[in-house]
Protein backbone atom coordinates (compact mmCIF):
# COMPACT_ATOMS: atom_id res chain seq x y z
CA UNK A 1 0.00 0.00 0.00
CA UNK A 2 2.74 2.43 1.00
CA UNK A 3 4.71 1.51 -2.14
CA UNK A 4 1.75 2.46 -4.34
CA UNK A 5 1.38 5.80 -2.59
CA UNK A 6 5.11 6.53 -2.93
CA UNK A 7 5.08 5.59 -6.62
CA UNK A 8 2.02 7.78 -7.22
CA UNK A 9 3.65 10.75 -5.50
CA UNK A 10 6.86 10.19 -7.46
CA UNK A 11 5.02 10.11 -10.80
CA UNK A 12 3.10 13.24 -9.83
CA UNK A 13 6.31 15.10 -9.05
CA UNK A 14 7.87 13.96 -12.34
CA UNK A 15 4.85 15.08 -14.39
CA UNK A 16 4.64 18.45 -12.67
CA UNK A 17 8.38 18.96 -13.09
CA UNK A 18 8.19 18.11 -16.79
CA UNK A 19 5.30 20.54 -17.27
CA UNK A 20 7.14 23.34 -15.47
CA UNK A 21 10.32 22.70 -17.48
CA UNK A 22 8.35 22.74 -20.75
CA UNK A 23 6.54 25.97 -19.83
CA UNK A 24 9.80 27.60 -18.75
CA UNK A 25 11.57 26.59 -21.96
CA UNK A 26 8.69 27.96 -24.03
CA UNK A 27 8.70 31.25 -22.14
CA UNK A 28 12.46 31.58 -22.66
CA UNK A 29 12.33 30.78 -26.39
CA UNK A 30 13.37 33.77 -28.52
CA UNK A 31 10.88 35.55 -30.75
CA UNK A 32 11.35 35.47 -34.52
CA UNK A 33 12.78 39.00 -34.51
CA UNK A 34 15.17 38.10 -31.70
CA UNK A 35 16.26 35.06 -33.69
CA UNK A 36 16.96 37.25 -36.75
CA UNK A 37 19.08 39.58 -34.61
CA UNK A 38 20.96 36.64 -33.12
CA UNK A 39 21.77 35.31 -36.60
CA UNK A 40 22.73 38.79 -37.81
CA UNK A 41 25.05 39.31 -34.84
CA UNK A 42 26.73 35.97 -35.50
CA UNK A 43 27.18 36.84 -39.16
CA UNK A 44 28.75 40.16 -38.19
CA UNK A 45 31.30 38.30 -36.04
CA UNK A 46 31.98 35.87 -38.89
CA UNK A 47 32.56 38.70 -41.38
CA UNK A 48 34.84 40.53 -38.98
CA UNK A 49 36.99 37.45 -38.52
CA UNK A 50 36.21 37.25 -34.81
CA UNK A 51 33.78 34.34 -34.39
CA UNK A 52 33.18 33.04 -30.88
CA UNK A 53 32.37 29.46 -31.99
CA UNK A 54 29.71 29.06 -29.28
CA UNK A 55 28.21 25.81 -28.02
CA UNK A 56 30.83 23.47 -29.40
CA UNK A 57 32.28 21.82 -26.31
CA UNK A 58 31.68 18.52 -24.51
CA UNK A 59 29.15 20.11 -22.16
CA UNK A 60 27.04 21.23 -25.12
CA UNK A 61 27.23 17.77 -26.67
CA UNK A 62 26.05 16.24 -23.41
CA UNK A 63 23.24 18.80 -23.11
CA UNK A 64 21.94 18.30 -26.66
CA UNK A 65 22.18 14.51 -26.39
CA UNK A 66 18.99 14.81 -24.29
CA UNK A 67 17.15 16.70 -27.04
CA UNK A 68 17.41 19.61 -29.46
CA UNK A 69 15.89 23.09 -29.19
CA UNK A 70 17.19 25.11 -32.16
CA UNK A 71 16.09 28.74 -32.26
CA UNK A 72 15.92 28.91 -36.09
CA UNK A 73 15.75 26.73 -39.19
CA UNK A 74 17.62 27.55 -42.39
CA UNK A 75 16.90 26.17 -45.86
CA UNK A 76 20.16 26.61 -47.73
CA UNK A 77 22.13 25.39 -50.73
CA UNK A 78 24.46 22.38 -50.45
CA UNK A 79 27.32 24.46 -51.89
CA UNK A 80 30.49 23.79 -49.86
CA UNK A 81 31.11 27.56 -49.70
CA UNK A 82 27.95 28.07 -47.63
CA UNK A 83 28.59 26.44 -44.23
CA UNK A 84 25.49 27.68 -42.43
CA UNK A 85 26.63 27.27 -38.81
CA UNK A 86 29.93 29.03 -39.54
CA UNK A 87 28.28 31.82 -41.53
CA UNK A 88 26.04 32.63 -38.54
CA UNK A 89 28.67 31.72 -35.89
CA UNK A 90 26.39 29.21 -34.19
CA UNK A 91 27.10 25.90 -32.51
CA UNK A 92 25.69 22.46 -31.81
CA UNK A 93 21.91 22.46 -31.49
CA UNK A 94 21.48 26.16 -32.35
CA UNK A 95 20.27 25.98 -35.96
CA UNK A 96 18.23 23.31 -37.77
CA UNK A 97 19.67 23.20 -41.30
CA UNK A 98 18.03 21.84 -44.46
CA UNK A 99 20.50 21.78 -47.36
CA UNK A 100 19.91 20.87 -51.00
CA UNK A 101 21.43 22.16 -54.24
CA UNK A 102 19.69 25.38 -55.26
CA UNK A 103 17.95 25.78 -51.84
CA UNK A 104 14.74 24.33 -53.28
CA UNK A 105 12.09 22.20 -51.54
CA UNK A 106 10.59 18.99 -52.88
CA UNK A 107 8.46 16.67 -50.76
CA UNK A 108 11.22 15.74 -48.31
CA UNK A 109 12.29 19.39 -48.02
CA UNK A 110 8.77 20.59 -47.20
CA UNK A 111 8.29 17.72 -44.73
CA UNK A 112 11.60 18.50 -43.01
CA UNK A 113 10.62 22.14 -42.58
CA UNK A 114 7.23 21.03 -41.21
CA UNK A 115 9.04 18.88 -38.65
CA UNK A 116 11.13 21.86 -37.52
CA UNK A 117 8.09 24.13 -37.31
CA UNK A 118 5.60 21.76 -35.64
CA UNK A 119 7.76 19.48 -33.50
CA UNK A 120 10.80 21.61 -32.70
CA UNK A 121 8.70 24.81 -32.41
CA UNK A 122 11.25 27.00 -34.17
CA UNK A 123 10.00 30.62 -34.36
CA UNK A 124 12.03 31.55 -37.45
CA UNK A 125 12.56 29.91 -40.84
CA UNK A 126 15.17 31.42 -43.15
CA UNK A 127 15.30 30.52 -46.85
CA UNK A 128 18.80 31.54 -47.91
CA UNK A 129 20.20 31.70 -51.43
CA UNK A 130 23.77 32.70 -52.26
CA UNK A 131 25.75 34.50 -54.92
CA UNK A 132 27.40 32.53 -57.75
CA UNK A 133 25.00 29.61 -57.25
CA UNK A 134 26.01 26.88 -59.69
CA UNK A 135 22.53 25.35 -59.79
CA UNK A 136 20.85 28.64 -60.71
CA UNK A 137 23.61 29.48 -63.19
CA UNK A 138 23.18 26.13 -64.95
CA UNK A 139 19.46 26.75 -65.46
CA UNK A 140 20.02 30.34 -66.66
CA UNK A 141 22.62 29.17 -69.18
CA UNK A 142 20.57 26.17 -70.30
CA UNK A 143 23.42 23.79 -69.50
CA UNK A 144 23.08 20.12 -70.45
CA UNK A 145 22.38 18.21 -67.24
CA UNK A 146 22.67 14.44 -67.04
CA UNK A 147 21.04 11.98 -64.67
CA UNK A 148 18.49 13.40 -62.26
CA UNK A 149 20.06 16.87 -62.34
CA UNK A 150 17.54 17.88 -64.98
CA UNK A 151 14.75 17.14 -62.48
CA UNK A 152 16.45 19.33 -59.86
CA UNK A 153 16.78 22.07 -62.47
CA UNK A 154 13.02 21.84 -63.00
CA UNK A 155 12.51 23.09 -59.44
CA UNK A 156 14.62 26.18 -60.20
CA UNK A 157 13.25 26.89 -63.69
CA UNK A 158 10.11 28.82 -62.56
CA UNK A 159 12.32 31.36 -60.76
CA UNK A 160 14.54 31.82 -63.81
CA UNK A 161 11.48 32.34 -66.02
CA UNK A 162 10.13 34.92 -63.56
CA UNK A 163 13.47 36.76 -63.51
CA UNK A 164 13.59 36.85 -67.32
CA UNK A 165 10.01 38.11 -67.54
CA UNK A 166 10.56 40.86 -64.97
CA UNK A 167 14.02 41.83 -66.26
CA UNK A 168 14.04 41.25 -70.05
CA UNK A 169 17.21 43.32 -70.55
CA UNK A 170 19.36 41.36 -68.09
CA UNK A 171 21.94 38.86 -69.31
CA UNK A 172 24.73 36.76 -67.84
CA UNK A 173 25.72 37.39 -64.22
CA UNK A 174 23.06 40.08 -63.77
CA UNK A 175 20.33 37.63 -64.81
CA UNK A 176 21.79 34.95 -62.50
CA UNK A 177 21.66 37.43 -59.61
CA UNK A 178 18.01 38.29 -60.33
CA UNK A 179 17.11 34.61 -60.71
CA UNK A 180 18.83 33.79 -57.41
CA UNK A 181 16.59 36.27 -55.57
CA UNK A 182 13.51 35.01 -57.40
CA UNK A 183 14.49 31.45 -56.46
CA UNK A 184 14.47 32.33 -52.76
CA UNK A 185 10.96 33.72 -53.13
CA UNK A 186 9.93 30.69 -55.19
CA UNK A 187 10.96 28.34 -52.38
CA UNK A 188 8.97 30.40 -49.87
CA UNK A 189 5.96 30.23 -52.19
CA UNK A 190 6.44 26.45 -52.46
CA UNK A 191 6.22 26.11 -48.67
CA UNK A 192 2.99 28.12 -48.60
CA UNK A 193 1.49 26.33 -51.61
CA UNK A 194 2.13 22.79 -50.45
CA UNK A 195 2.05 23.03 -46.66
CA UNK A 196 -1.21 24.08 -45.01
CA UNK A 197 0.55 23.29 -41.73
CA UNK A 198 3.26 25.91 -42.27
CA UNK A 199 0.76 28.43 -43.64
CA UNK A 200 -1.38 27.97 -40.54
CA UNK A 201 1.56 28.43 -38.16
CA UNK A 202 2.58 31.63 -39.96
CA UNK A 203 -0.97 32.99 -39.78
CA UNK A 204 -1.09 32.21 -36.05
CA UNK A 205 2.14 34.14 -35.55
CA UNK A 206 4.03 31.08 -34.34
CA UNK A 207 6.49 31.02 -37.25
CA UNK A 208 7.99 33.77 -39.40
CA UNK A 209 9.55 33.04 -42.81
CA UNK A 210 12.33 35.33 -43.98
CA UNK A 211 14.35 35.30 -47.21
CA UNK A 212 18.09 35.96 -47.22
CA UNK A 213 21.04 36.12 -49.60
CA UNK A 214 24.60 35.13 -48.66
CA UNK A 215 27.51 36.76 -50.49
CA UNK A 216 30.19 34.07 -50.72
CA UNK A 217 32.97 36.62 -51.25
CA UNK A 218 32.23 39.17 -48.52
CA UNK A 219 30.65 36.69 -46.10
CA UNK A 220 27.70 39.02 -45.63
CA UNK A 221 24.10 37.88 -45.26
CA UNK A 222 21.54 40.31 -46.66
CA UNK A 223 17.91 40.01 -45.60
CA UNK A 224 14.92 40.14 -47.93
CA UNK A 225 12.08 42.12 -46.33
CA UNK A 226 9.38 40.39 -48.38
CA UNK A 227 8.16 39.59 -51.88
CA UNK A 228 9.76 41.88 -54.42
CA UNK A 229 12.05 43.47 -51.83
CA UNK A 230 15.68 44.40 -52.15
CA UNK A 231 18.23 42.83 -49.80
CA UNK A 232 18.70 44.90 -46.65
CA UNK A 233 20.52 44.90 -43.36
CA UNK A 234 18.37 43.89 -40.35
CA UNK A 235 16.85 47.04 -38.89
CA UNK A 236 16.07 47.80 -35.25
CA UNK A 237 12.53 47.52 -34.02
CA UNK A 238 10.49 50.53 -35.20
CA UNK A 239 9.66 52.98 -32.43
CA UNK A 240 6.01 53.36 -31.50
CA UNK A 241 4.47 56.35 -33.29
CA UNK A 242 4.01 59.43 -31.14
CA UNK A 243 0.46 60.42 -30.32
CA UNK A 244 -0.71 63.35 -32.45
CA UNK A 245 -1.10 66.56 -30.49
CA UNK A 246 -4.66 67.46 -29.65
CA UNK A 247 -6.03 70.47 -31.57
CA UNK A 248 -5.62 73.73 -29.64
CA UNK A 249 -8.81 74.93 -27.96
CA UNK A 250 -10.17 78.23 -29.30
CA UNK A 251 -10.26 81.18 -26.93
CA UNK A 252 -14.04 81.25 -26.95
CA UNK A 253 -15.90 77.97 -26.64
CA UNK A 254 -18.41 78.56 -29.37
CA UNK A 255 -20.60 75.63 -30.34
CA UNK A 256 -20.08 74.46 -33.92
CA UNK A 257 -22.53 72.49 -35.99
CA UNK A 258 -21.80 68.75 -36.02
CA UNK A 259 -21.10 68.81 -39.76
CA UNK A 260 -18.23 71.30 -39.33
CA UNK A 261 -16.59 69.66 -36.31
CA UNK A 262 -12.89 69.11 -36.93
CA UNK A 263 -11.93 65.42 -37.24
CA UNK A 264 -9.16 64.04 -35.08
CA UNK A 265 -5.89 63.59 -36.99
CA UNK A 266 -5.07 59.97 -37.91
CA UNK A 267 -2.14 58.26 -36.20
CA UNK A 268 0.90 57.89 -38.44
CA UNK A 269 1.53 54.43 -39.91
CA UNK A 270 4.35 52.37 -38.49
CA UNK A 271 7.36 51.68 -40.68
CA UNK A 272 7.51 48.09 -41.93
CA UNK A 273 10.07 45.82 -40.29
CA UNK A 274 12.43 44.55 -43.03
CA UNK A 275 12.68 41.23 -41.19
CA UNK A 276 8.95 40.63 -41.65
CA UNK A 277 8.25 37.53 -43.67
CA UNK A 278 5.82 37.18 -46.57
CA UNK A 279 2.15 37.58 -45.71
CA UNK A 280 0.32 34.30 -46.31
CA UNK A 281 -3.02 36.13 -46.56
CA UNK A 282 -3.41 35.07 -50.18
CA UNK A 283 -2.74 31.45 -49.28
CA UNK A 284 -5.99 30.72 -47.42
CA UNK A 285 -6.98 27.63 -49.39
CA UNK A 286 -5.51 24.29 -48.43
CA UNK A 287 -3.53 23.05 -51.40
CA UNK A 288 -3.25 19.29 -52.05
CA UNK A 289 0.03 17.77 -50.98
CA UNK A 290 2.46 17.41 -53.90
CA UNK A 291 2.40 13.96 -55.42
CA UNK A 292 5.89 14.31 -56.89
CA UNK A 293 9.08 13.19 -55.25
CA UNK A 294 12.26 15.24 -54.93
CA UNK A 295 13.28 14.43 -58.48
CA UNK A 296 10.17 15.89 -60.09
CA UNK A 297 9.37 19.60 -59.97
CA UNK A 298 6.29 20.68 -58.01
CA UNK A 299 3.67 22.70 -59.80
CA UNK A 300 4.26 26.00 -58.09
CA UNK A 301 2.56 29.24 -59.06
CA UNK A 302 5.01 31.93 -60.04
CA UNK A 303 5.35 34.78 -57.53
CA UNK A 304 3.17 37.70 -58.49
CA UNK A 305 6.09 40.05 -58.05
CA UNK A 306 9.70 38.95 -58.40
CA UNK A 307 12.54 40.55 -56.43
CA UNK A 308 14.20 43.32 -58.34
Look at residue 4 and tell me whether its pLDDT is greater than 90: no
pLDDT tens digits for range 181-208: 999 999 999 999 999 999 999 999 999 9
Tell me if 304 is assigned to some domain: yes
- Counting the structural domains of the chain, the total is 1
CATH number for 104: 3.40.1050.10
Tell me if 115 is assigned to some domain: yes
User: Residue 125: which residues within 8 A CB-CB, separation 6 or more?
Assistant: 72, 73, 74, 75, 113, 116, 117, 191, 198, 207, 208, 209, 210, 277
Tell me if 253 is assigned to some domain: no
213 strand-pairing partners: 129, 222
Tell me if 252 is assigned to some domain: no
Tell me if 244 is assigned to some domain: no
Structural domain span for residue 110: 29-53+69-235+273-308
pLDDT tens digits for range 228-252: 444 544 444 334 444 445 555 444 4
Flag whether the pTM goes above 0.85.
no
Amino acid sequence: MFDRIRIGRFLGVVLVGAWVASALAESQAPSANEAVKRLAAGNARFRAGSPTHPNGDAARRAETAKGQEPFAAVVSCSDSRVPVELVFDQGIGDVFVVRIAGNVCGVSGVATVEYAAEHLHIPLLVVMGHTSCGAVTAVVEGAKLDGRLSDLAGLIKPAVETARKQNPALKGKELVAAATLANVQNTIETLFEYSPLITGLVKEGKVKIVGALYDIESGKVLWLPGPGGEPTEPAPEPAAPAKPAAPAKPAEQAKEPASTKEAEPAAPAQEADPADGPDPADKTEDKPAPTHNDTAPPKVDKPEEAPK
